[in-house]
Protein backbone atom coordinates (compact mmCIF):
# COMPACT_ATOMS: atom_id res chain seq x y z
CA UNK A 1 0.00 0.00 0.00
CA UNK A 2 1.17 3.54 -0.75
CA UNK A 3 1.19 5.99 2.15
CA UNK A 4 -1.19 8.87 1.40
CA UNK A 5 0.17 11.12 4.16
CA UNK A 6 3.22 11.55 6.36
CA UNK A 7 1.02 11.07 9.42
CA UNK A 8 2.23 8.82 12.19
CA UNK A 9 -0.44 6.81 13.97
CA UNK A 10 -0.44 5.58 17.53
CA UNK A 11 -3.01 2.96 18.45
CA UNK A 12 -4.56 3.75 21.84
CA UNK A 13 -5.72 0.52 23.41
CA UNK A 14 -8.81 0.95 25.57
CA UNK A 15 -10.09 -0.79 28.66
CA UNK A 16 -13.56 -2.30 28.99
CA UNK A 17 -14.85 1.02 30.39
CA UNK A 18 -13.56 2.91 27.34
CA UNK A 19 -10.64 4.64 29.09
CA UNK A 20 -7.11 4.47 27.64
CA UNK A 21 -4.50 1.95 28.73
CA UNK A 22 -1.17 3.54 29.64
CA UNK A 23 0.84 2.05 26.81
CA UNK A 24 -0.86 3.98 24.00
CA UNK A 25 -0.40 7.25 25.87
CA UNK A 26 3.27 6.36 26.45
CA UNK A 27 3.73 5.81 22.70
CA UNK A 28 2.50 9.32 21.95
CA UNK A 29 5.79 10.51 23.47
CA UNK A 30 8.20 8.91 20.91
CA UNK A 31 5.41 9.33 18.34
CA UNK A 32 5.61 13.12 18.79
CA UNK A 33 9.33 13.06 18.12
CA UNK A 34 9.07 10.84 15.02
CA UNK A 35 6.11 12.77 13.60
CA UNK A 36 7.93 16.09 14.05
CA UNK A 37 11.06 14.75 12.38
CA UNK A 38 8.98 13.45 9.48
CA UNK A 39 6.74 16.48 9.19
CA UNK A 40 3.44 14.61 9.62
CA UNK A 41 0.61 14.83 12.13
CA UNK A 42 0.66 12.69 15.25
CA UNK A 43 -2.64 10.84 15.08
CA UNK A 44 -4.14 8.73 17.85
CA UNK A 45 -6.46 5.88 16.85
CA UNK A 46 -8.95 5.00 19.57
CA UNK A 47 -11.23 1.96 19.23
CA UNK A 48 -13.66 0.78 21.89
CA UNK A 49 -17.04 1.52 23.42
CA UNK A 50 -17.78 4.88 25.12
CA UNK A 51 -14.26 6.09 24.33
CA UNK A 52 -14.70 9.80 25.16
CA UNK A 53 -12.24 9.62 28.07
CA UNK A 54 -9.58 7.86 25.96
CA UNK A 55 -10.05 10.46 23.20
CA UNK A 56 -9.51 13.27 25.73
CA UNK A 57 -6.45 11.52 27.18
CA UNK A 58 -4.92 11.10 23.70
CA UNK A 59 -5.37 14.80 23.07
CA UNK A 60 -3.92 15.72 26.48
CA UNK A 61 -0.87 13.50 25.85
CA UNK A 62 0.00 15.29 22.64
CA UNK A 63 -1.97 13.94 19.65
CA UNK A 64 -2.64 16.47 16.86
CA UNK A 65 -5.60 14.44 15.61
CA UNK A 66 -7.71 11.67 17.08
CA UNK A 67 -9.71 9.24 14.95
CA UNK A 68 -12.16 7.24 17.06
CA UNK A 69 -14.29 4.20 16.29
CA UNK A 70 -16.97 3.67 18.92
CA UNK A 71 -19.52 0.88 19.13
CA UNK A 72 -20.80 -1.99 21.27
CA UNK A 73 -18.98 -4.55 19.11
CA UNK A 74 -15.70 -2.97 20.29
CA UNK A 75 -16.42 -3.19 24.05
CA UNK A 76 -14.03 -6.13 24.37
CA UNK A 77 -11.13 -6.85 22.08
CA UNK A 78 -11.73 -9.36 19.29
CA UNK A 79 -9.24 -9.98 16.52
CA UNK A 80 -11.91 -9.77 13.82
CA UNK A 81 -13.58 -6.51 14.85
CA UNK A 82 -10.43 -4.59 15.75
CA UNK A 83 -8.44 -5.73 12.72
CA UNK A 84 -11.36 -4.82 10.45
CA UNK A 85 -11.61 -1.33 11.97
CA UNK A 86 -7.90 -0.57 11.75
CA UNK A 87 -7.62 -2.02 8.25
CA UNK A 88 -10.51 0.17 7.12
CA UNK A 89 -8.95 3.29 8.63
CA UNK A 90 -5.51 2.57 7.19
CA UNK A 91 -6.93 1.97 3.68
CA UNK A 92 -8.92 5.19 3.91
CA UNK A 93 -6.30 7.54 5.36
CA UNK A 94 -2.97 5.89 4.38
CA UNK A 95 -0.65 6.71 7.31
CA UNK A 96 3.06 6.10 6.91
CA UNK A 97 3.69 4.51 10.33
CA UNK A 98 1.69 2.76 13.04
CA UNK A 99 2.83 2.17 16.62
CA UNK A 100 1.02 -0.43 18.73
CA UNK A 101 1.60 -1.41 22.37
CA UNK A 102 3.10 -4.89 22.74
CA UNK A 103 0.30 -6.03 25.05
CA UNK A 104 -1.38 -9.43 24.60
CA UNK A 105 -4.05 -7.79 22.39
CA UNK A 106 -1.54 -5.61 20.51
CA UNK A 107 0.61 -8.68 19.86
CA UNK A 108 -2.44 -10.44 18.48
CA UNK A 109 -3.70 -7.61 16.30
CA UNK A 110 -0.38 -6.29 14.92
CA UNK A 111 0.67 -9.40 12.96
CA UNK A 112 -2.88 -9.98 11.66
CA UNK A 113 -3.01 -6.42 10.39
CA UNK A 114 0.46 -6.43 8.84
CA UNK A 115 -0.35 -9.68 7.04
CA UNK A 116 -3.61 -8.25 5.67
CA UNK A 117 -1.82 -5.07 4.55
CA UNK A 118 1.14 -7.06 3.20
CA UNK A 119 3.61 -4.91 5.09
CA UNK A 120 6.32 -5.41 7.72
CA UNK A 121 5.98 -5.48 11.49
CA UNK A 122 8.82 -5.27 13.99
CA UNK A 123 7.76 -6.75 17.31
CA UNK A 124 8.72 -5.79 20.85
CA UNK A 125 10.77 -2.67 20.09
CA UNK A 126 12.66 -0.86 22.81
CA UNK A 127 13.93 2.18 20.84
CA UNK A 128 12.72 4.13 17.80
CA UNK A 129 14.30 6.59 15.43
CA UNK A 130 13.64 7.78 11.90
CA UNK A 131 15.60 8.53 8.75
CA UNK A 132 14.04 11.85 7.78
CA UNK A 133 14.93 11.51 4.10
CA UNK A 134 13.38 8.09 3.44
CA UNK A 135 10.87 8.21 6.29
CA UNK A 136 12.02 4.74 7.33
CA UNK A 137 11.63 4.16 11.05
CA UNK A 138 14.63 2.44 12.65
CA UNK A 139 13.00 -0.11 14.91
CA UNK A 140 15.38 -1.42 17.59
CA UNK A 141 14.65 -4.59 19.51
CA UNK A 142 16.61 -7.19 21.52
CA UNK A 143 17.77 -10.22 19.54
CA UNK A 144 19.54 -13.48 20.38
CA UNK A 145 18.23 -13.68 23.95
CA UNK A 146 18.87 -10.01 24.55
CA UNK A 147 22.60 -10.33 23.90
CA UNK A 148 22.51 -7.82 21.07
CA UNK A 149 20.17 -5.15 19.81
CA UNK A 150 18.96 -5.39 16.20
CA UNK A 151 17.79 -2.34 14.26
CA UNK A 152 15.26 -3.17 11.57
CA UNK A 153 13.81 -1.05 8.74
CA UNK A 154 10.86 -1.64 6.45
CA UNK A 155 11.91 0.28 3.30
CA UNK A 156 9.51 -1.13 0.67
CA UNK A 157 6.08 -1.22 2.26
CA UNK A 158 3.75 1.16 4.04
CA UNK A 159 2.52 1.59 6.63
CA UNK A 160 5.51 0.41 8.61
CA UNK A 161 4.24 -1.15 11.81
CA UNK A 162 5.92 -1.85 15.15
CA UNK A 163 4.87 -3.03 18.59
CA UNK A 164 6.56 -1.46 21.60
CA UNK A 165 6.63 -2.90 25.09
CA UNK A 166 4.68 -1.11 27.83
CA UNK A 167 6.89 0.87 30.20
CA UNK A 168 9.70 1.54 27.69
CA UNK A 169 8.63 5.17 27.17
CA UNK A 170 7.21 7.57 29.71
CA UNK A 171 3.91 9.36 29.32
CA UNK A 172 4.48 13.04 28.60
CA UNK A 173 1.48 15.35 28.99
CA UNK A 174 1.43 18.13 26.43
CA UNK A 175 -0.40 20.45 28.81
CA UNK A 176 -2.93 21.15 26.06
CA UNK A 177 -6.12 19.52 24.86
CA UNK A 178 -6.53 20.71 21.31
CA UNK A 179 -6.53 17.66 19.06
CA UNK A 180 -8.84 17.66 16.08
CA UNK A 181 -11.24 14.80 16.88
CA UNK A 182 -13.11 12.77 14.28
CA UNK A 183 -15.50 9.90 15.03
CA UNK A 184 -15.53 7.44 12.14
CA UNK A 185 -18.86 5.75 11.50
CA UNK A 186 -17.58 2.20 11.11
CA UNK A 187 -19.25 -0.97 12.37
CA UNK A 188 -18.68 -4.69 12.12
CA UNK A 189 -21.63 -7.06 11.70
CA UNK A 190 -22.06 -9.66 14.43
CA UNK A 191 -21.70 -12.55 11.96
CA UNK A 192 -18.27 -11.23 10.93
CA UNK A 193 -16.92 -11.64 14.47
CA UNK A 194 -16.04 -15.30 14.83
CA UNK A 195 -15.10 -15.32 18.50
CA UNK A 196 -17.24 -14.51 21.53
CA UNK A 197 -16.00 -13.42 24.92
CA UNK A 198 -17.82 -15.71 27.34
CA UNK A 199 -16.22 -14.82 30.67
CA UNK A 200 -13.29 -12.82 32.06
CA UNK A 201 -11.39 -14.65 34.82
CA UNK A 202 -8.95 -12.24 36.38
CA UNK A 203 -5.66 -13.52 37.76
CA UNK A 204 -5.56 -12.19 41.33
CA UNK A 205 -1.79 -11.64 41.22
CA UNK A 206 -1.92 -9.85 37.86
CA UNK A 207 -4.60 -7.57 39.27
CA UNK A 208 -2.57 -6.46 42.26
CA UNK A 209 0.90 -6.24 40.71
CA UNK A 210 0.92 -3.09 38.67
CA UNK A 211 4.65 -2.80 38.09
CA UNK A 212 4.39 -0.70 34.95
CA UNK A 213 2.73 2.21 36.75
CA UNK A 214 4.68 1.94 40.04
CA UNK A 215 6.75 4.92 41.18
CA UNK A 216 8.89 2.77 43.48
CA UNK A 217 9.79 -0.90 43.03
CA UNK A 218 11.71 -3.07 45.48
CA UNK A 219 12.84 -6.24 43.70
CA UNK A 220 14.29 -9.46 45.05
CA UNK A 221 16.46 -11.95 43.21
CA UNK A 222 18.07 -15.32 43.84
CA UNK A 223 20.00 -13.67 46.66
CA UNK A 224 16.88 -13.69 48.87
CA UNK A 225 17.42 -17.46 49.13
CA UNK A 226 13.78 -18.64 49.15
CA UNK A 227 10.17 -17.53 49.45
CA UNK A 228 10.75 -16.46 53.07
CA UNK A 229 13.53 -14.17 51.85
CA UNK A 230 10.91 -11.92 50.20
CA UNK A 231 9.67 -10.88 53.67
CA UNK A 232 12.30 -8.15 54.23
CA UNK A 233 11.85 -7.08 50.57
CA UNK A 234 8.10 -6.74 51.16
CA UNK A 235 8.63 -4.96 54.49
CA UNK A 236 10.74 -2.28 52.80
CA UNK A 237 8.22 -2.04 49.94
CA UNK A 238 5.41 -1.53 52.47
CA UNK A 239 7.06 1.41 54.25
CA UNK A 240 7.92 3.02 50.92
CA UNK A 241 4.49 2.40 49.37
CA UNK A 242 6.33 0.42 46.70
CA UNK A 243 5.47 -2.56 44.50
CA UNK A 244 7.46 -5.79 44.82
CA UNK A 245 9.34 -6.96 41.74
CA UNK A 246 11.67 -9.89 41.15
CA UNK A 247 14.24 -11.37 38.86
CA UNK A 248 13.43 -14.37 36.71
CA UNK A 249 15.65 -16.60 38.88
CA UNK A 250 13.31 -16.06 41.84
CA UNK A 251 10.25 -16.69 39.64
CA UNK A 252 11.73 -19.84 38.10
CA UNK A 253 12.52 -21.12 41.59
CA UNK A 254 8.82 -20.75 42.44
CA UNK A 255 9.44 -18.20 45.22
CA UNK A 256 7.17 -15.53 43.70
CA UNK A 257 4.68 -15.39 40.81
CA UNK A 258 5.57 -14.38 37.26
CA UNK A 259 3.38 -11.28 37.63
CA UNK A 260 6.29 -9.77 39.61
CA UNK A 261 9.02 -10.51 37.06
CA UNK A 262 11.00 -7.60 35.66
CA UNK A 263 13.08 -8.02 32.53
CA UNK A 264 13.14 -9.12 28.95
CA UNK A 265 10.60 -11.90 29.48
CA UNK A 266 8.85 -10.07 32.31
CA UNK A 267 7.73 -6.47 32.54
CA UNK A 268 9.55 -3.35 31.43
CA UNK A 269 9.44 -0.77 34.19
CA UNK A 270 10.61 2.81 34.60
CA UNK A 271 9.89 3.86 38.20
CA UNK A 272 11.40 6.86 39.95
CA UNK A 273 13.21 4.48 42.31
CA UNK A 274 14.22 0.85 41.70
CA UNK A 275 15.83 -1.06 44.58
CA UNK A 276 17.45 -4.33 43.45
CA UNK A 277 18.11 -6.74 46.32
CA UNK A 278 20.23 -9.83 45.71
CA UNK A 279 20.03 -9.40 41.94
CA UNK A 280 23.26 -9.82 39.95
CA UNK A 281 22.29 -7.58 37.03
CA UNK A 282 22.09 -9.99 34.07
CA UNK A 283 21.50 -8.25 30.74
CA UNK A 284 17.97 -9.69 30.51
CA UNK A 285 17.07 -8.17 33.88
CA UNK A 286 18.64 -4.81 32.98
CA UNK A 287 16.58 -4.78 29.76
CA UNK A 288 13.49 -4.37 31.91
CA UNK A 289 14.60 -1.79 34.49
CA UNK A 290 17.53 0.27 33.26
CA UNK A 291 15.16 3.12 32.34
CA UNK A 292 14.45 3.72 36.06
CA UNK A 293 15.26 7.24 37.25
CA UNK A 294 17.30 6.10 40.25
CA UNK A 295 18.65 2.59 40.82
CA UNK A 296 19.82 1.36 44.22
CA UNK A 297 21.55 -2.03 44.36
CA UNK A 298 22.09 -4.15 47.45
CA UNK A 299 24.42 -7.06 46.83
CA UNK A 300 27.09 -8.81 48.86
CA UNK A 301 29.34 -9.20 45.81
CA UNK A 302 31.14 -5.88 45.12
CA UNK A 303 31.78 -7.01 41.54
CA UNK A 304 28.14 -7.77 40.71
CA UNK A 305 27.28 -6.14 37.32
CA UNK A 306 24.20 -4.48 38.83
CA UNK A 307 26.58 -1.94 40.40
CA UNK A 308 27.55 -0.77 36.88
CA UNK A 309 24.04 0.61 36.31
CA UNK A 310 23.27 1.59 39.93
CA UNK A 311 23.21 5.22 41.08
CA UNK A 312 23.74 4.04 44.66
CA UNK A 313 25.28 0.74 45.69
CA UNK A 314 25.28 -0.98 49.07
CA UNK A 315 27.72 -3.87 49.37
CA UNK A 316 26.33 -6.08 52.08
CA UNK A 317 24.01 -8.85 53.15
CA UNK A 318 20.45 -7.94 52.22
CA UNK A 319 19.17 -9.61 55.40
CA UNK A 320 21.08 -6.99 57.42
CA UNK A 321 20.72 -4.02 55.06
CA UNK A 322 16.97 -4.27 54.35
CA UNK A 323 15.72 -4.34 57.99
CA UNK A 324 18.09 -1.46 58.85
CA UNK A 325 16.81 0.59 55.86
CA UNK A 326 13.19 -0.22 56.72
CA UNK A 327 13.70 0.90 60.33
CA UNK A 328 15.37 4.16 59.29
CA UNK A 329 12.59 4.98 56.84
CA UNK A 330 9.95 4.23 59.48
CA UNK A 331 11.74 6.62 61.87
CA UNK A 332 11.95 9.32 59.21
CA UNK A 333 8.26 8.91 58.43
CA UNK A 334 7.20 9.18 62.05
C1 LIG B 1 15.94 -15.60 26.96
C2 LIG B 1 16.15 -15.22 28.40
C3 LIG B 1 15.26 -14.34 28.97
C4 LIG B 1 15.42 -13.94 30.31
N5 LIG B 1 14.54 -13.04 30.86
C6 LIG B 1 14.77 -12.59 32.11
C7 LIG B 1 13.93 -11.61 32.71
O8 LIG B 1 12.90 -11.17 32.14
N9 LIG B 1 14.22 -11.15 33.95
C10 LIG B 1 15.31 -11.62 34.66
O11 LIG B 1 15.50 -11.15 35.78
N12 LIG B 1 16.11 -12.55 34.12
C13 LIG B 1 15.86 -13.06 32.90
N14 LIG B 1 16.66 -14.05 32.40
C15 LIG B 1 17.62 -14.71 33.32
C16 LIG B 1 18.91 -13.93 33.51
O17 LIG B 1 19.82 -14.31 32.52
C18 LIG B 1 19.50 -14.24 34.90
O19 LIG B 1 19.70 -15.65 35.00
C20 LIG B 1 18.65 -13.79 36.06
O21 LIG B 1 18.30 -12.43 35.89
C22 LIG B 1 19.46 -13.95 37.35
O23 LIG B 1 18.66 -13.61 38.44
P24 LIG B 1 19.32 -13.09 39.78
O25 LIG B 1 20.13 -11.88 39.53
O26 LIG B 1 18.24 -13.04 40.81
O27 LIG B 1 20.24 -14.35 40.20
P28 LIG B 1 21.85 -14.49 40.21
O29 LIG B 1 22.43 -14.11 38.91
O30 LIG B 1 22.10 -15.85 40.73
O31 LIG B 1 22.28 -13.39 41.26
C32 LIG B 1 22.02 -13.45 42.64
C33 LIG B 1 22.79 -12.31 43.27
O34 LIG B 1 22.46 -12.24 44.65
C35 LIG B 1 23.64 -11.89 45.38
N36 LIG B 1 23.42 -12.36 46.75
C37 LIG B 1 23.34 -13.65 47.20
N38 LIG B 1 23.05 -13.64 48.52
C39 LIG B 1 22.96 -12.36 48.92
C40 LIG B 1 22.67 -11.72 50.15
N41 LIG B 1 22.39 -12.44 51.24
N42 LIG B 1 22.67 -10.39 50.20
C43 LIG B 1 22.93 -9.63 49.09
N44 LIG B 1 23.20 -10.18 47.88
C45 LIG B 1 23.20 -11.53 47.79
C46 LIG B 1 24.75 -12.58 44.64
O47 LIG B 1 25.98 -11.93 44.91
C48 LIG B 1 24.30 -12.46 43.19
O49 LIG B 1 24.85 -11.29 42.60
C50 LIG B 1 16.51 -14.46 31.09
C51 LIG B 1 17.40 -15.36 30.48
C52 LIG B 1 17.22 -15.72 29.17
C53 LIG B 1 18.21 -16.65 28.54
Q: What is the pLDDT of residue 206?
A: 54
In a domain, 198, yes or no: no
Give the number of the atom of ligand 1 that is nearest the alpha carbon of residue 265.
8
Ligand 1 proximity of 29 Cβ (cutoff 6 Å): no
pLDDT in tens, 105-159: 999 999 999 999 999 999 999 999 999 999 999 999 988 877 788 999 999 999 9
What is the distance in A from the centroid of ligand 1 to the CA of 246?
A: 9
What is the distance in A from the centroid of ligand 1 to the CA of 149?
A: 20
Q: Angle at Cα 240 formed by Cα 236 and Cα 243, nearest 5°? A: 80
Q: Angle at Cα 271 formed by Cα 269 and Cα 276, nearest 5°? A: 80
Asked if residue 252 and residue 182 are part of one domain, the reply reads no
What is the distance in A from the centroid of ligand 1 to the CA of 249?
A: 5
Ranges assigned E (strand) in the chain: 8-12, 42-48, 65-70, 97-101, 121-125, 127-130, 137-143, 148-152, 160-164, 180-183, 216-220, 243-246, 273-277, 294-299, 312-315
Q: What is the pLDDT of residue 209?
A: 80
What is the distance in A from the centroid of ligand 1 to the CA of 9?
A: 37
Residue at which a domain ends, from 192, 212, 239? 192
User: What is the residue-averaged pLDDT of the chain?
Assistant: 94
Say if CB 269 and CB 246 are below 8 A apart: no
Ligand 1 proximity of 34 Cβ (cutoff 6 Å): no
Asked if residue 187 and residue 268 are part of one domain, the reply reads no
Q: How far apart are CA 208 and CA 163, in angstroms?
A: 25
Q: How far apart are CA 305 and CA 69, in angstroms?
A: 48
Domain containing residue 321: 204-333
Residue 272: CATH number of its domain: 3.40.50.1220
pLDDT in tens, 187-240: 999 999 999 989 888 765 555 688 988 999 999 999 999 999 999 999 999 999
In a domain, 85, yes or no: yes
Asked if residue 314 and residue 212 are part of one domain, the reply reads yes
| DSSP state letters, 4-42 | SS--EEEEE-B-TTSPBPHHHHHHHHHHHHHHHHHT--E
In a domain, 1, yes or no: no
Q: 83 vs 146, which has greater pLDDT?
A: 83
Residue 151: CATH number of its domain: 3.40.50.620
Nearest CA-CA partner of 80 in 57, 108, 56: 108
Nearest CA-CA partner of 256 in 234, 238, 276: 234
Asked if residue 173 and residue 32 are part of one domain, the reply reads yes
Amino acid sequence: MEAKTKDLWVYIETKEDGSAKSVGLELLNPGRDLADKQGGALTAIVIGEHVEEAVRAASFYGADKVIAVDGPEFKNYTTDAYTAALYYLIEKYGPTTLLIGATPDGRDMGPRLSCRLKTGLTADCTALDIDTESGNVAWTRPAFGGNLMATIICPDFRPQIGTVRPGVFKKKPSGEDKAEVHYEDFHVAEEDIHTRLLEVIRDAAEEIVNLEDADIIVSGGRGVGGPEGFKPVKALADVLGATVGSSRAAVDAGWISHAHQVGQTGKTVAPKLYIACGISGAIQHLAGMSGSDCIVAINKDPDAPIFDVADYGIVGDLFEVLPALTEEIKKLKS
